[in-house]
Amino acid sequence: MGCLLFMCIPSLYAQNHVKHVVVVGFDGLGAYAVPKANMPHLKKLMEDGAFSLKARTVLPSSSAVNWASMIMGAGPTMHGYTE
């Protein structure tokens, strides 16, 4: 599973002004495809926010397990969800 993950990393400005965090994930979209894709609105969010194109899947790759790991911040060995 390729996952494009937008994570908010607070800056000094953001700590005082930003009240919301938006996480955008695309199940099955590899990060290699993002620079070539025609996604002007998503790329604008990337320009104005914080993001990572280096998120990695847990193996063996499974959408439900990967989403659980992303939300919980832990791998299957820690959270116990293996589908």
Q: Which pLDDT score, from 0 to 100, does residue 22 have?
A: 82
- At 13, the amino acid letter reads Y
> pLDDT tens digits, residue range 53-74?
888 888 878 889 988 988 898 9
Residue 33: phi and psi, rounded to 5, are -85, -20
Percent of the chain with pLDDT over 90: 23
Residue 60: cis peptide before it, omega within 30 degrees of 0: yes
Q: Which pTM does this prediction carry? A: 0.59
Contact call for residues 67 and 60 (beta carbons, < 8 A): no
* C-alpha span between 63 and 43 (Å, rounded): 24
Contact call for residues 79 and 72 (beta carbons, < 8 A): yes
